[in-house]
Amino acid sequence: MQFRLDKLIKLLGQHGLAGLALNPGPTLAYLTGLHFHLMERPTVLLVTATGELALVLPELEAGKLAGLPFEIRHYTYSDDPETRPAAFSRAAEALHLPGESLGVEATRMRYLELTYLADALPDTGFEDASDCLADLRMIKDASELEKMRQAAEIAQTALLATLARLQAGMTEKDVANQLIIQLLEAGSDPGLPFAPIVSFGENSANPHAVPTDRPLRPGDLLLVDWGANVDGYLSDITRTFTFGEVEPELLAIGEIVRKANQAGRAAGAPGVEAGAIDRAARAVIDAAGYGQAFIHRTGHGLGLEAHEAPYIYDGSSLALMPGMTFTVEPGIYLPEKGGVRIEDDVVVTENGLESLTDLPRAVLPLEDFLGG
C-alpha cells in the first residue's frame, strides 16, 4: 500500500495536481484496501500531493477502519444530511490543501460529492485526473496478474460447463442465467465484471446486445461475452459458435475475425504504440472487404475495471510496457444476419503479448461442446 501511495505522490507531482478526491471504487480500493458502497451517503478519500490522507464517511462505516495497517484521519457524519458539510470542512482544513487543482475520476465523481467538496474548498478547482490514474494502475504487478489469470481460468471453465448444458429451445436469457450460475460455481466473486452478453442469430450483430427470450435455432451464430472476478480483478472474453448449418458468409467472417484477432495479438510488444494493435487487426478485416462492419476499437484495458486504460484504438500513440493488460477483440457485425467477435485478455511481456485466455478461437459448432 505504501508503495502504491508513493507512486501516486510522484504522479500527482508530474501531473501538476495538488491532490486527489476519490469516490468508492477501484482506485480507492487499490490505494487503501478499503471497500465502500457507492450510495446516497457520500464517502470521499482526499489524498494530497504530499501524501496526507483524509477520509469523509458515514458514522456507520467507521468500523471498517479498525483493522487497517496504517492510520487514516477520518471525519464522520450522521444520518442527518445537515451534518455532512461540517465533516467535509474539517477534512479540508486538516489537510491544508493549497488553493490549486484537485484531481477527480471523471467517470466516477458525482454531483453529490463534488458539491460538498466545492463548498468545503472554495478556492480549489477540480480537474479530470484520468491520465494520472491510468499511469498509476495500468502496469500490473505479479500478484495482480495472478488474479487476472485466475479470473480468465474461472471464466473459461464456466463457459465450457454452460455449453455442455445447452439444449434446443433455450433462450438467450436461459443461457446467460446458466452462465452466471457456472461462473459462481467455478469460483468467481459475486460481483461479475458485467452482465454476460448471450446473443443468437441476428441479435449477435449488436455488439452490446442484452439477452432476450429469443430461442436458439439451427442456422444461428451464438455469441457469448462474459467474465469473472477474482478479488476485484476481472476477465472479459468473447467466443462465437455456430448452431446447425449456418450461411457460408457467417463462417467466412468467423475466419476473418479469427485472423484479425491473431494479427492484433501478434502486433503488440514493449515500445510499440497501442494503436498498432488496432491497425494490425483492422487491416485484416479491411483487406477482406468488411472494414465498415468492424464498428468499434480493437480493445480496452482490463484489470480492476472492465474498461480502463490503455484503450486500443487507431490514434493511440501510447507506448506499451510490460505488465499492461488489455483485450484484443475484433468483430464483424452484419445487420439482420449476425456478428462474430473473438476477444482475448492479454498482458504485455518482455517479448510480446501473452494471452491469458486460451479457449479455441475458431468459430466452432456448438455441437462439439454439448454434454454427452
In 3D, which of 354, 293, 296 has the Cα closest to residue 326?
354
Least distance between Co ion and beta carbon 227 (Å): 7
Least distance between Co ion and beta carbon 236 (Å): 4
149 secondary structure, DSSP code: H
- Which CB atom, from 20 or from 155, has the smaller least distance to Co ion? 155
User: Site map for Co ion, 224-253, x if CB under 5 A?
Assistant: -x----------x-----------------
Q: How many residues bind Co ion (CB under 5 A)?
A: 4
Residues 95 to 114 in contact with Co ion, rule: CB under 5 A: none
CA dist., res. 211 & res. 353, Å (int): 32
Phi and psi (nearest 5°) for 365? -65, 135
CA dist., res. 19 & res. 117, Å (int): 13
Set of cell numbers at residue 231: 478479488
Least distance between Co ion and beta carbon 233 (Å): 15
- Which CB atom, from 11 or from 224, has the smaller least distance to Co ion? 224
- What is the arrangement of strands in the sheet containing 73-77, beginning at the earlier edge strand? 73-77, 53-58, 44-48, 19-22, 101-104, 125-128
- Which CB atom, from 48 or from 298, has the smaller least distance to Co ion? 298
Set of cell numbers at residue 270: 514493449
CA dist., res. 62 & res. 65, Å (int): 6
In 3D, which of 174, 152, 156, 173 has the Cα closest to residue 165?
174
CA dist., res. 219 & res. 205, Å (int): 14
Give Cβ neighbours of residue 97 (< 8 Å, ≥ 6 apart). 18, 19, 46, 48, 121, 124
Least distance between Co ion and beta carbon 303 (Å): 12
Least distance between Co ion and beta carbon 193 (Å): 8
305 binds Co ion (CB under 5 A): no
Which one of 11-19, 134-142, 223-231, 250-258 is the stretch in contact with Co ion (CB under 5 A)?
223-231
Task: Report strand pairing: 44-48 vs 19-22.
Answer: antiparallel
Out of 222, 327, 328, 331, the residue judged to bind Co ion by CB under 5 A? 327
Least distance between Co ion and beta carbon 326 (Å): 9
- Which CB atom, from 124 or from 261, has the smaller least distance to Co ion? 261
Reading phi first (left if > 0) and then psi (alpha if -120 to 50, else beta), residue 189 is in: beta
Give Cβ neighbours of residue 246 (< 8 Å, ≥ 6 apart). 219, 220, 221, 338
Least distance between Co ion and beta carbon 237 (Å): 7
Least distance between Co ion and beta carbon 48 (Å): 35
- Which CB atom, from 220 or from 236, has the smaller least distance to Co ion? 236
- Which CB atom, from 239 or from 259, has the smaller least distance to Co ion? 239
User: Site map for Co ion, 332-351, x if CB under 5 A?
Assistant: -----------x--------
- Which CB atom, from 156 or from 327, has the smaller least distance to Co ion? 327
Q: Which residues bind Co ion (CB under 5 A)?
A: 225, 236, 327, 343
